[in-house]
Structure 1
Amino acid sequence: MAKFAITIKSSTIVKPSAQTWTGRMSLSELDMTGAISHVDTLYFYAKPTVPQNDAVLVDRLRHALSQTLVPFYPLAGRLDPIGGGRLELDCNAMGVEFIVAEAETVSLEALGVGDLARSRGTKFQPLVPEVNYALPMKEWPLLLVQLTKLGCGGMCLCFNMSHIPADGLSGLHFLNEWARVARGEGIGTMPFHDRKVLRAGEPPLGRQPSFDPAEFQRPPVMLPDVGCTDDNGNGAGGPSDEITVARLKLSKTKLLLLKEMANKGNPNRPYSTYETLTAHTWRCACKARKLKPNQPTAVGVYVDVRRRLNPPLPDAYLGDAVFGVKAISLSGDLVNEPLGFAAETIREAVEKVDGEFLSSAVEYLKHQPDLTKFQDSHEVDGVRDDGEHHEEPFYGMPNLVVSSWLRLPLLGLDFGFGKEVYMDTTFDFDGDATLSHSQDGDGSVVLAICFRSDHVDEFERLFYDDIIV
């Protein structure tokens, strides 16, 4: 649908309801590298079956938020740059921005909520609370919430959270606890704040780590003139850069067939749903983009390291415990070899991330005079202390990023007015993808992928037609 207008009714700052610890919290190298901007998640709710007073509903959400911020106090703080791309978390209880808005001309149906129709990646953008990145970083809220009342009586709750103090699992832990408090149930699991396992704030050990810096190299770019056989010669920046989000549902039966394809000749340890589907997506993308056989290509994978550390971190750890790795191959190898080749390439990239690898990576980052070049953001201007701009990793053509939502507690977020009918996010760039369980509860999986519009038809055809056992 076309862009729609919203009306901001109020914007308030919600602070913790009781006194919390104040002071500066050291951040780990994992907090300060990788994704450093805000990440949005949108939850859509049908019109409540029992009529609710809007003012009462908003007050209940705000009150529950203020209570939940007491144990989750870092999210009410602010970031403070300390030089060299490094940051500290100022736990100062400055609070969370809570916006109430209306979109009277828009309904859940008009938004296409719940359907699998193609759309622009920014179709939900008016529902996302904006971060004013022009302000000094010390003034950015780490969490912004926007409750938008729709013309049909339904609602959208959007949470725009900084990836620095909380990764996806941490953020969802917070949201689920907030929902529990709003329902009158109280906090179920307290967050774990100790970053000592990741040596947050500690100086380097004094010895150079045995870490391969190639792990942090930028992903491949299109080879000049030879990387793509597309008739119009377009590379990553050609005239057909308009992007489309396709949501492709794969039934449980088709998923089992795809796993059978991937596991031919691999009797020992079958590939997981993520390994199989990401491998299939990678191969189909190479074909749809018409990459030449000698074109290097990467798929970015985010690895939850909580249980890979020694000692491990609990699931309730509040922080960024994700490490990004790249599986790299030649397009020709991915296309010509069996599906298991791509799956094994992905597995090898992930399995090297163990306790020793992470310890070495953290030590390597501690030795770096400036972390800016290790930071990814689509909104925040990357300027080093010396005034130079840094080039961020480019995960568009010929590359992909496939984020797994398969193990995240995404669904069933009930603040007291029922569970969501749909959840989603906005998408940023060609090749940005997520894997999640279908909200139908039928065992199917949905790939949501942002793809160049001139490639998406062929990608969708291949995604289904290439499942042949």
Structure 2
Amino acid sequence: MKVEAVETALVAPSEVTPRHALWLSNLDLAVPKTHTPLVYYYPKPAPSDGGAAEEEEAGSFFEPARLREALARALVPFYPLAGRLAVGPGGRIEIDCTGEGALFVVARADFTGDEVFRDFEPSPEARRLLVPFAESGDPPCVLAMVQVTFLRCGGVAVGTGMHHVTMDGAGAFQFIRTWTGLARGEAPSASPFHDRTLLRARSPPHVPFEHPVYSPSYLNGAPRPFVTRVYAVPPKLLADIKARCAPGASTYCAVTAHLWRAMCVARSLPAESDTRLRVPANIRQRLRPPLPATYFGNAIVRDLVTVKVGDVLSQPLGFVAERIKRAVSRVDDAFVRSVVDYLELESEEGSQAARGQFMPESDLWVVSWLGMPIYDADFGWGRPGFVAPAQMFGSGTAYVTQGPEKDDPVNVLFALEPEYLQCFDKAFYGE
């Protein structure tokens, strides 16, 4: 498969924007210094009898100039994305709001949408084809990259690479909704809130909780070869999984408990050993006072759930789901402030930069996109038919997502070592 770039440009904000250094919080600095690659697939619209006007509209399907102009306008309220990563006083990373612009690429592919998206699997190859690549995520790198790829079938893939220090998933979809709304000719939605000092550490720092998930020793596992598969959880299977949990168990807790059990089976983990689940919690509404609804940055705190493998396998599924629920529920204002202060002390000791990126084989990390507006990305030619990460970054990581329609299956994108796949498939689907 080949992709040829036919246009590459920097798109600057359409108006003059503030020029200053933007301070980054400890939660911003605790994420990997990489660009997060996402891909949106838009199938070619079905032909109809709409006449000449509709044919003209079809001829302008994903007109690059329209997307480029809307991007320039979106970068006015989201002006940090037009800046560059920089090193500020004391060596602390910050965003230099220079207004230089986001990278915008138009490309043509020699393959069809079905060849890639019918059974899409995130991979380095998918990222190479569909998302711009930055050699490094270190300063002074570009922060926002977009590629619009016209496929041989007439469909379009839009790949985005946004630097993780600039935003979390909620922030990414906030930006996409603004960009797509402007492309449809709508007025900009609510302005993003950029002041990240709301998450500044206390003086002196106070750490009443333990935070092993942020320990420099936690993510120092060895990289292992892995492949990513998409596992559909159709409504009947989802209902069965939730029925085995307590009434009111969330889809995330129930599906993650089921996934955790299948992983322990597939990897043949010793029953007496510990297995740990890394869970993320959106803190926007958990702080007192809450963060502004449009807070643009990283507002995710992580925690670890530690359980004996034997308990994951032998206890009722509801036991595991309840442990997950308890971990997510305990993330309140006091816990978040403790995390921020812990990271402050860790950075002062110089250990934060030494953290690796790979979990031990006994562990699992599950990110939820449930309830996020990932399919509200309509540039004016319809909603995407598929949205997913273009690449995963380590074995044992998973995303739980919902399809474009409410009756669609929940999907689990899971990265696992190839030798465990067959056993995992059987365990996940109850064979």
TM-score by length of 1: 0.83
Out of 234, 255, 266, the position equivalent to 1:288 is 266
Out of 54, 62, 65, the position equivalent to 2:71 is 65
Percent sequence identity is: 32
Residue by residue over 1:366-402, the C-alpha shift from the partner in whole angstroms, topping out at 9 and shown as x without a partner, is 233458744xxxxxxxxx5xxxxx2414225221111
Partner of 2:377: 413
Partner of 1:333: 311
Out of 102, 106, 112, the position equivalent to 1:107 is 112
Q: Distance in 2 between matches of 1:192 and 1:338?
A: 43
| More deviation, 76-85/416-425 | 76-85
Q: Is the 8 A contact 2:177 2:377 kept in 1?
A: yes
Offset of residue 353 of structure 1: 1.2
- The 3 A distance-change label for structure 1 pair 416 and 371 is farther
Q: Is the 8 A contact 2:358 2:394 kept in 1?
A: no
Q: Distance in 2 between matches of 1:433 and 1:69?
A: 31
Q: Distance in 2 between matches of 1:344 and 1:162?
A: 34
* 1:347 and 2:325 correspond: yes
Q: Is the 8 A contact 1:146 1:159 kept in 2?
A: yes
Partner of 2:160: 159
Q: Is the 8 A contact 1:31 1:165 kept in 2?
A: yes
Q: Distance in 1 between matches of 2:313 and 2:158?
A: 41
Q: Distance in 1 between matches of 2:106 and 2:84?
A: 22
Q: Is the 8 A contact 2:242 2:251 kept in 1?
A: yes
Amino acid of the residue matched to residue 403 of structure 1? Answer: V
* 1:212 and 2:210 correspond: yes
Q: Is the 8 A contact 1:288 1:459 kept in 2?
A: yes
- Count of residues paired in the alignment: 419
Out of 423, 428, 434, the position equivalent to 2:399 is 434
Offset of residue 443 of structure 1: 4.8
Q: Distance in 1 between matches of 2:396 and 2:188?
A: 38
* 1:365 and 2:343 correspond: yes
Partner of 2:427: 462
Q: Is the 8 A contact 1:433 1:447 kept in 2?
A: yes
Q: Is the 8 A contact 2:279 2:303 kept in 1?
A: yes
Q: Distance in 1 between matches of 2:91 and 2:257?
A: 34
Offset of residue 322 of structure 1: 0.7
Out of 5, 9, 22, the position equivalent to 2:6 is 9
Q: Distance in 1 between matches of 2:198 and 2:33?
A: 21
* 1:304 and 2:304 correspond: no
Q: Distance in 2 between matches of 1:194 and 1:120?
A: 34
Q: Is the 8 A contact 1:44 1:422 kept in 2?
A: yes
- The 3 A distance-change label for structure 1 pair 83 and 197 is closer
Q: Distance in 2 between matches of 1:289 and 1:368?
A: 33
* 1:92 and 2:98 correspond: yes
* 1:133 and 2:143 correspond: no
Amino acid of the residue matched to residue 130 of structure 1? Answer: F
Partner of 1:34: 31
Indicate the structure with greater helix content.
2
Q: Distance in 2 between matches of 1:156 and 1:391?
A: 34
Out of 386, 389, 406, the position equivalent to 1:422 is 386
**Map of 1:437-448 to 2, 5 A cutoff?**
437-448=402-413
Q: Is the 8 A contact 2:366 2:399 kept in 1?
A: yes
Residue by residue over 1:218-263, the C-alpha shift from the partner in whole angstroms, topping out at 9 and shown as x without a partner, is 44899xxxxxxxxxxxxx77xxx54222211112222122111122
Out of 242, 249, 259, the position equivalent to 1:259 is 242
Give the SS at the match of 1:439: coil
Residue by residue over 1:186-224, the C-alpha shift from the partner in whole angstroms, topping out at 9 and shown as x without a partner, is 21222122324212xx6x5135533425342344899xx
Q: Which runs of 5+ in 2 are unaligned?
A: 48-54
Give the SS at the match of 2:88: strand
* 1:190 and 2:155 correspond: no
Give the SS at the match of 1:457: helix
Q: Distance in 1 between matches of 2:243 and 2:62?
A: 53
Q: Is the 8 A contact 1:396 1:432 kept in 2?
A: no
Q: Is the 8 A contact 1:219 1:326 kept in 2?
A: no
Give the SS at the match of 1:148: strand
- The 3 A distance-change label for structure 1 pair 372 and 53 is farther
| More deviation, 453-462/342-351 | 342-351
- The 3 A distance-change label for structure 1 pair 88 and 337 is same
- The 3 A distance-change label for structure 1 pair 59 and 443 is closer
Q: Is the 8 A contact 1:221 1:398 kept in 2?
A: no
Out of 284, 291, 297, the position equivalent to 1:313 is 291
**Map of 1:399-410 to 2, 5 A cutoff?**
399-410=363-374
Partner of 1:46: 43
Q: Distance in 2 between matches of 1:99 and 1:364?
A: 40
| More deviation, 183-192/154-163 | 183-192
Offset of residue 93 of structure 1: 0.7
Q: Distance in 2 between matches of 1:311 and 1:324?
A: 20
Offset of residue 58 of structure 1: 0.7
Q: Distance in 1 between matches of 2:408 and 2:148?
A: 31
Amino acid of the residue matched to residue 208 of structure 2? Answer: S
Give the SS at the match of 2:387: strand
Q: Is the 8 A contact 1:121 1:450 kept in 2?
A: no
Q: Distance in 1 between matches of 2:175 and 2:209?
A: 34
**Map of 1:170-249 to 2, 5 A cutoff?**
170-199=171-200, 204-206=202-204, 208-217=206-215, 218-219=217-218, 242-249=225-232
Give the SS at the match of 2:285: helix
- The 3 A distance-change label for structure 1 pair 206 and 372 is closer
Q: Is the 8 A contact 1:289 1:455 kept in 2?
A: yes
Offset of residue 90 of structure 1: 1.2
Residue by residue over 1:302-331, the C-alpha shift from the partner in whole angstroms, topping out at 9 and shown as x without a partner, is 110000111101331111101122212221
Q: Distance in 2 between matches of 1:406 and 1:369?
A: 33
Amino acid of the residue matched to residue 400 of structure 1? Answer: L
Q: Distance in 2 between matches of 1:29 and 1:221?
A: 20
| More deviation, 211-220/397-406 | 211-220
Q: Is the 8 A contact 1:108 1:154 kept in 2?
A: yes
TM-score by length of 2: 0.90
Offset of residue 72 of structure 1: 0.9
Amino acid of the residue matched to residue 333 of structure 2? Answer: G
Offset of residue 416 of structure 1: 1.6
Q: Is the 8 A contact 2:61 2:381 kept in 1?
A: no
- The 3 A distance-change label for structure 1 pair 85 and 456 is farther
Offset of residue 21 of structure 1: 1.2
